[in-house]
Amino acid sequence: MSRIQPTFEKLKQRGSKALIPFITAGDPNPQLTVSLMHALVEAGADIIEIGVPFSDPMADGPTIQRSSERALKHGVALHDVLDMVAKFRTTDASTPVVLMGYGNPIEAMGWERFAVRCAQVGVDGVLTVDFPPEESHEAFGHLHRHGVDPIFLLAPTTSDERITQVAKVARGYVYYVSLKGVTGAGHLDLSAIAQKIPHIRQYIGLPIGVGFGIRDAETARAVSKLCDGVVVGSRIVQEIEDSNEEVVIANVARLVKELRLAINQV
């Protein structure tokens, strides 16, 4: 069973919001990923999103693209990412892990086999950026059957009709893209988010995380007031890119702690 729903319930009881950092598996190198995951949890992450590297990350900005390229240089494949999660689970049985990426590597593995492996290694949710609900009934059926939550994006441009469709298949949480553009862009409109989130709640009972464009503690704090969780990706990946390997874990931990403190002030 997925750990995502119980995690949001606990946070709600505490009156707290989820901090959901994102890193790409295998960046800066495959040996560091599991340590980075543990460091994220220690620094205050509630859920971890792990990017599965892909050769053609169409929805990502330059920062996450480069992280994908670094991981692919190390030959990191989907089965390696699953192995990393398995290793993480040997010492962390409770923090939800969500894989985020593109559909083709999963297609190559086969959705059923992938869903079985996710359940075995302890993946709780899967966000396939380029697989909308209408194209993927069978794929998401496999995830449902094995207790893995399909996570979906909602955008400022998503129609009410499409929100209804997403609501039928989504589990865990939904991920609201807070701006028009790719990951890491920087023109976030807080008042638009404040309007849109209550609107989405009319259609979807799941918790709502907000991401794309959250670049500092202040924005994280402001956004967390409006929703149930804050996703921070490009800013953390940027920190990984800017740090040399000896200090990368410490630098990422410091950044995530800042974000945690900011969100706790809400």
C-alpha distances out from residue 94 to 13, 122, 148, 210, Å: 17, 10, 15, 22
Q: Which residues pair with 99 in a beta bridge?
A: 50, 126
Contact with other proteins (CB under 8 A) among 21, 26, 105, 211: 105
Member of 83, 112, 130, 189 binding other proteins (CB under 8 A):
130
- Site membership for other proteins, residue 182 (CB under 8 A): yes
Residue 92 appears among annotated catalytic residues: no
Active-site choice (27, 49, 124, 228): 49
CB of 264 to other proteins, least distance (A): 30
Size of the site for other proteins (CB under 8 A): 42
Look up 60 and say whether it is catalytic. Answer: yes
Going edge to edge, which strands form the sheet with 149-150? 149-150, 125-128, 97-101, 48-51, 18-24, 229-232, 208-211, 174-177, 152-154
Phi and psi at 86, nearest 5°, equal -60, -40
User: From residue 131 to residue 170, what is the string marking binding to other proteins with x (rule CB under 8 A)?
Assistant: xx-xx----------------xxxx-xxx--x--------
Binding mask 37-66 for other proteins (x = CB under 8 A): -----------------xxxxxx-xx--xx
- Does 198 bind other proteins (CB under 8 A)? Our answer is no
**27, 46, 60, 149: the active-site residue:** 60
Does residue 77 interact with other proteins by CB under 8 A?
yes
Structure tokens at 132: 């909308």
Draw the binding track, 199-238, toward other proteins (x: CB under 8 A; -: no contact): ----------------------------------------
- Core vs surface per residue 241-255: b (16+ CB within 10 A) or e: eebeeeebbebbbeb
Does 86 interact with other proteins (rule: CB under 8 A)? no
List contacts with other proteins (CB under 8 A): 54-59, 61-62, 65-66, 69, 72, 77-79, 102-109, 129-132, 134-135, 152-155, 157-159, 162, 177, 180-182, 185
